[in-house]
Structure 1
Amino acid sequence: MPSSSSTSHFVLPFPILIADVGGTNARFSILIDANAEPKAFTTIRTRDFPTLDAAIQSHVLDQTSLMPRSAVLAVAGPTDGDTIDLTNNDWVVHPRRMIEELGFDDVVVLNDYEAQALAVVALDEGNLQQIGGGERDPGANRVVIGPGTGLGVAGLVHAALTWIPVAGEGGHVDLGPQTDRDAEIFAHLERIGGRVSGEQVLCGSGMVNLYRAVARANGNEPRFSDPSEVSQAAEQKADPDAVETLDLFAEYLGRVAGDLALVFMARGGVYLTGGITLKILPFFNAERFRTAFENKAPHGELVGAIPTYAVLHDRAPMEGLAAYARTPSRFGVSLENRHWTR
């Protein structure tokens, strides 16, 4: 039956299966006990399996003698009922069926960016690269922002000695022009419902959208239609429009990140995640990002004291899920309609 608990004051029975299920890839591990490192399985492509249950059975359960009693899943989609559709994936999560057919006693389903937020508590300094100045208050609120397939955003609020992840649709906040050059480019940006949101620029398809606008503002015909082509041309400095696109990508990401830092008063830091972050980090315009991040008059000094980091761990959500699975009471995760038990 689904749990109506509002907080995580319970203990999940070990072993625990943890899974990060996205639109393209899925990652699985088994946590034997609270002190063990997770036993990781190779990453799979979701299109290679007809259902999540089939993937768990054939890729995990059939490959180990460890039989998990619980499952903690992070999925890219809304997590508010017995049938959970993934946003960019044909898989559907059926927690009741997983209990009946796969033998779990408990199933907990979180949003993928809740897992990203949990990860920034679990990761050590070696998995973070600071961008610019600022100093972290270890007990203060944090923000995660991740340009990837979309623009994922989550907050992590620290209250009553508990870390509370706040998932939402922050990637769809407005993004508008500030400079004359911005105005020239924004005139060519594709819009949704007459507006430009952060995600219209700061994701894979958004990078292409921005590149096309830059090219047309420069009087050129766009040459590229894939974000990897744009980023590669920028890295190699093979196309001036692509170079400007990646510079503006860093600047606009800094603007949105700075806004979110103010919203959450994120003195614990702002953390850049997502597949695009890791890909462009070697040639990321950190100075332009940080200048835009701090340009928040009349609160520039406040934001300037907030550190920003790139998350280097390529399985960061799995670290967050493992931290939660070990000690759920450490985190204020709402379980209403998201916890099922035998």
Structure 2
Amino acid sequence: MTDVTLLGDIGGTNSRFALVNKGRTDYRSERHYENEHFPTFQDAIEAYVTEVGERPNAGVVAIAGPVAGDMVGPTNRQSWLFNPPKLAAALRFARFDVINDFEAVAHALPHLADSDTTTIGEVQAYTSGGNMAVLGPGTGLGVGALVRGGSRWVAVPSEGGHAEIGVPDGQWAKAHELIRRKIGRVSGEHVLSGPGLQRIDAALNELAGHPRERSAADIGTSAVAGTDATAVEAAHLFFDYLARFSGDVALMFAAKGGVFLYGGVVQKLSALMDKQAFRHAFEAKAPLEKFLAQIPTRLITHPTPGLIGCAAVAAHW
């Protein structure tokens, strides 16, 4: 149907574009742009096409926002909202698919090389070709899966980030209770996100007798530098929540092919992750400890898995 396809991974602040040839997933001509330099999404695309000197005749773009209604676009850049059919006509695209950015990451999972991920702990066995799940703590908490549908993979979007999260053990239960008193029911997203890290840190500071609130960026910087004991503890509690919630997601999707973690919050704090403690909390789901012990957990380190996912979508046209 097409010879060259435009790929786009579109956030609120930055955009990444590339080209891919028909039937392939190894994209080329990757460029990154700051969105603020372009009044509209079409302007950014035209700038990219001009720079690389090659005009695609189809496109797949992933956007950091919901894909519903006549107008879509990144949630944090309303000036970039666009109508997909009208934009496709303006660009003279024979086909133009718009997907959610997290759906794109799910599509990328089978195409990630070993060097694109870091293994978290050891597993007793591994089922190649099994369902896979992905969690992405960021502004919110994305949860999705990739499951087998006949001879091809099918991405399963979800609102799993809003599922209720369990209470941690020991002294951390007191911090969880403080969070619950302020917001009511505690979902995964309430603690596994940038705002969630702030809630955890604020609760721990309150328990320590010196209430304060600070940004997620400040908490992460202090934790990684080891300059603030409460920030370090907040990171450890964050990973405890993440491990236990990841185990629940693994059970929901029977993700024998692995559970993948993605997002800036996890990557920034990854140096503080106790991999053995993570695996222990991940597997502690009686009576299914043996089932979970066979499921690998991995952190995605590839900088642009969204582009890989978009290429995988185009390859199946």
TM-score > 0.5, shorter chain as reference: yes
How far apart, in 2, do the equivalents of 1:187 and 1:86 lie?
34
Specify the SS of the correspondent of 1:72.
strand
1:148 partner letter:
G
Aligned-pair RMSD on alpha carbons? Answer: 1.9
What's the counterpart of residue 72 of structure 1? 60
TM-score by length of 2: 0.93
Q: How far did 1:249 drift?
A: 0.6
Structure 1 position 63 matched with structure 2 position 51: yes
Report matched runs for 1:45-124 at 5 Å: 45-58=34-47, 60-90=48-78, 91-124=80-113
Distance 1:137 1:107 in 2: 35
Q: How does 1:292-311 map to 2 (within 5 A)?
A: 292-311=281-300
Q: Provide the secondary structure at the position in 2 that maps to 1:152.
A: strand
Any idea what SS the aligned residue of 1:63 has?
Answer: helix
Q: Shift of residue 193 of structure 1?
A: 6.0
What's the counterpart of residue 140 of structure 1?
Answer: 130
> 2-side partners of 1:37 and 1:261: how far apart?
29
Cα 1:89–1:286 shift into 2, 3 Å? farther
- Alignment gaps of 5+ in structure 1: 1-11, 329-342
Check the 8 A contact 1:250/1:286 in 2, yes or no.
Answer: no
Query: 1:214 & 1:150 partners in 2: Cα distance?
Result: 21
Q: Distance in 1 between matches of 2:278 and 2:29?
A: 35
CA-CA distance at 1:188 after TM superposition: 2.3
- Cα 1:159–1:136, aligned 2, differ >3 Å: closer, same or farther? farther
What secondary structure does 2:171 align onto? helix
Q: Does the Cα contact within 8 Å between 1:14 and 1:68 map onto a contact in 2?
A: yes
Matched, 1:285 2:282: no
Deviations, residues 21-51 of structure 1 (Å, cap 9, x unaligned): 1222211101134358422333222233222
* 1:13 paired to 2:6: no
Give 1:165 shift: 0.4
Does the 8 Å contact 1:191/1:200 carry over to 2? Answer: no
User: 1:336 matched to which residue of 2?
Assistant: none
TM-score, with length taken from structure 1: 0.87
User: How far apart, in 2, do the equivalents of 1:298 and 1:110 lie?
Assistant: 37
Q: 2:162 aligns with which of 164, 172, 197?
A: 172
Opposite residue 284 of structure 1, the aligned amino acid is M
Provide runs of 4+ in structure 1 moved above 4 Å: 190-193
Which residue does 1:28 correspond to in 2? 17
Q: Is the 8 A contact 1:252 1:289 kept in 2?
A: no
SS in 1 for 2:245: helix
- CA–CA distance in structure 2, aligned partners of residues 40 and 225 of structure 1: 40
Greater RCO, CA 8 A, separation 6+: 1
Q: Check whether the contact 1:121–1:320 (CA below 8 A) recurs between aligned residues.
A: no
> 1:247 touches 1:288 (CA, 8 Å); kept in 2?
no
Q: Which residue of 1 aligns with 2:249?
A: 260
How many angstroms apart in 2 are the aligned matches of 1:193 and 1:227?
18
CA contact (8 A) 1:146 1:152 kept: yes
Give SS of 1:84's match. coil
CA contact (8 A) 2:127 2:257 kept: yes
Choose the corresponding residue for 2:258, options 269, 281, 293. Answer: 269
Note the alpha carbon deviations across 1:53-84, whole angstroms, 9 max, x for none.
111112x1221321110010111222234322
- Alpha-carbon shift at residue 131 of structure 1 (Å): 0.6
Q: Which has the higher helix share?
A: 2
Alpha-carbon offset, residue 168 of structure 1:
1.6
> Number of paired residues?
315
Q: 1:81 to 1:295 in 2, by over 3 A?
A: same
- Aligned CA distance change for structure 1 residues 136 and 81 (closer, same or farther; 3 Å): farther
Q: Secondary structure at the match of 1:41?
A: strand
Equivalent-residue separation in structure 1 for 2:310 and 2:248 (angstroms): 27
